[in-house]
Structure 1
Amino acid sequence: MGTRSQQQAHRREGEWSAVSVAGDYLELVRAPAVLTVLGDSLAGGAAAGRSLGGRRVLMPLASACLYAGGMALNDYADRELDADERPERPIPSGRISARNALAAASALTAAGLGLCAVAGGRSALAVGVPLAVSIWTYDLVAKDHAVPGAVSMGTCRALDVLMGAGAGHIRPALGAAGIMGGHTVAVTLLSRGEVNGTDAATAAGTAAATGVLTASVVAGTPGPPARTLAVLGAAAAYALRCAPAQIEAARNPVAGNALKATKAGIRAMVPLQAALALRHGHPVAAGALIGVDILGRIIRSRPRARRVSES
């Protein structure tokens, strides 16, 4: 039976083990980066004139599950490469088996599609299914090729925006989808230099893309001057979040700078989504995204969260 102190020690050991396993899975799915996908459906819905109410509040969670499933599948597909380049990752380190990672990817994808159906019905699911297919295609086939892989990843992000709009409201959301997809393509190309370094042209091109996308968000913002100023502020926050690291990577394209620029590009997606929501007259959605951005900063500041990488 054991003494009471022994029983308490065993209980604490079991609780710590559960916490450790949960942390391993959070690392597997890049938990902090999942926050950057919540605003896709908000931006798409705002562009299509659809408010986030009723069951539609589940749409960002659908995006989060699909994204997290893609991250788990990414590590499953990269398990042999990571054994050489990133042996500390959950699969090569032995903390999570390849089989369990694949199971997690499958379960999260199914959960994402289920939430999509509940939140937006057939209209959203008509975009959600191609999105899920695109995610699995990227992870298992396309990502080994630089440009096709980046375009495939950008397509995933654009489809996530369109999922928030729904199949019947795609046209007005195409601009927002193109902006989010374009940013993703640029960041994905730069991310290929995280381990061995990038090149100045790629990093400079990414910085140039940031400038073009910033101008695209602000240009032609409809409505009163106050809305234009709000969009300008959010767009400036986006540019300031990622452009300095991209410029530094262009000046010195070593792996460390490429990694910093990639992480900055991932985090900059939230103010970009907020700018798009403001552009289409949805300040409440933009305010929610500001809250998401603050939450991400808090999570990243915690010492125990630092190993839960975003890339």
Structure 2
Amino acid sequence: MTPFGDYLELVRAPAVLTVLGDTMAGGAAAGRVLSGRRLWMPLASACLYAGGMALNDYADRDVDARERPQRPLPSGRVSAGSALAAASALTVAGLGLCAVAGGRRALAVGVPLAGSIWTYDLIAKNHTLIGAVSMGSCRALDVLMGAGAGQMRPALGAAGIMGGHTVAVTLLSRGEVEGTDTVTASGVAATTGLVAAAVVAGSSGPPARMLAVLAATAAYAARCGPAQIRAARSPAAANALAATRAGIRAMIPLQAALAVRYGHPTAAGALVAVDVLGKILRSRPKARKVSES
């Protein structure tokens, strides 16, 4: 793998696609169309997310040396200093794009989001429940960044839905190496059902919109539910890992469902295209080496 490919692996490039729709959903909830300068907002999220992934590997370099020696840092393909520099540069870039896209209102949410990401990676994630809630808060703040300070109230529902899903996926991810347990995996599967119900319950509008919401919500549940149920039946590490990856990928149809729910089918269509792109990239032999989790 080339040095550039090593950095793509460091930031878990395929997973970056799953964050693009957060600000779309938040903006849709607040009635803000994704156009003009606001087109930079998803890229701001992508930079902040990628920075968080690089910082994650920097913070976990000793643990990864034992559990994931193939990762860029323990394998020596990327140095710890370079990972920290990448995390810092991507965070600064994300905040810069946030300022360009949404001005002070977006930056008023973007700065706490960046702080939350660094707090999670360096401190909070070492505590199972606190870490999961912290990660969920990061995702919720990313949604709210799309709405901007002063217009966050309409987006609180979308932020709670994305945050709740993220908490569940994060709890399940704790079992990627040594396995999870039936209670955790069952709880995560139940959360998927609750999240799907919350999306549909908060929807209204003409029949065409309702059908689109139902279709996107069904796609979300179908994307991650079966893998979570398998993990509940057999909580081995391989099943926990598969369910975690499915949960990460399911964020895109969930974001699309929220975009349609708030009357923004164009944003939902863009997310469908992102989802297709992700599938294409994952099908490429070289891309299979770049883990999402």
Class of the TM-score when normalised by the shorter of the 2 chains: over 0.9
**In the alignment, what sits opposite 1:294?**
276
Distance 2:236 2:290 in 1: 22
Q: CA deviation at 1:175?
A: 0.1
- Which residue does the alignment assign to 2:63? 81
Amino acid at match of 2:4: A
Match of 1:67 among 41, 49, 63: 49
Q: Deviations over 1:27-54 (max 9, x none)?
A: 0000000000000000000000000011
Deviation at 1:81, TM superposition (A): 0.3
1:277 corresponds, among 240, 259, 267, to 259
Residue aligning to 1:45: 27
d(CA) in 1 for partners of 2:202, 2:122: 39
Match of residue 235 from structure 1: 217
For residues 49 and 124 of structure 2, the distance between their equivalents in structure 1, rounded to whole angstroms, comes to 16
Q: Which residue does 1:187 correspond to in 2?
A: 169
Counterparts of 1:15-26 in structure 2, within 5 Å, are 20-26=2-8
Consecutive unaligned residues in structure 2, runs of 5 or more: none
**1:96, distance to aligned residue in structure 2 (A):** 0.3
4+ residue segments displaced more than 3 Å: none
Residue 220 of structure 1 and its aligned partner are, at CA, apart by: 3.5
In structure 2, the residue corresponding to 1:93 is in which secondary structure? Answer: coil
- The size of the alignment, in residue pairs, is 293
Identical-residue share of aligned pairs (%) = 78
In 2, the alpha carbon distance for the partners of 1:259 and 1:47 equals 32
TM-aligned CA deviation for residue 168 of structure 1: 1.4
Q: Which runs of 5+ in 1 are unaligned?
A: 1-18
Deviation readout 1:136-187 (Å, 9 max, x if unpaired): 0000000000000000000000000000000011000000000000000000
Q: Distance in 2 between matches of 1:220 and 1:57?
A: 26
The TM-score, its normalising length taken from structure 2, stands at 0.99
Give the aligned partner of residue 162 of structure 1: 144
Secondary structure at the aligned position of 2:69 is classed as coil
Give, in whole Å, the separation in 2 of the partners of 1:71 and 1:92: 15
Tell me the equivalent position of 2:118. 136
- The 1-side partners of 2:43 and 2:25 are apart by 14
- Residues in 1 aligned to 2:179 and 2:205: alpha-carbon distance in whole angstroms: 44
2:134 to 144, 147, 152: 152
State the 1:116 CA deviation.
0.1
Paired position in structure 2 for 1:32 = 14
Which whole-Å CA distance do the structure 2 matches of 1:121 and 1:222 have between them? 31
The equivalent residue for 2:205 is 223
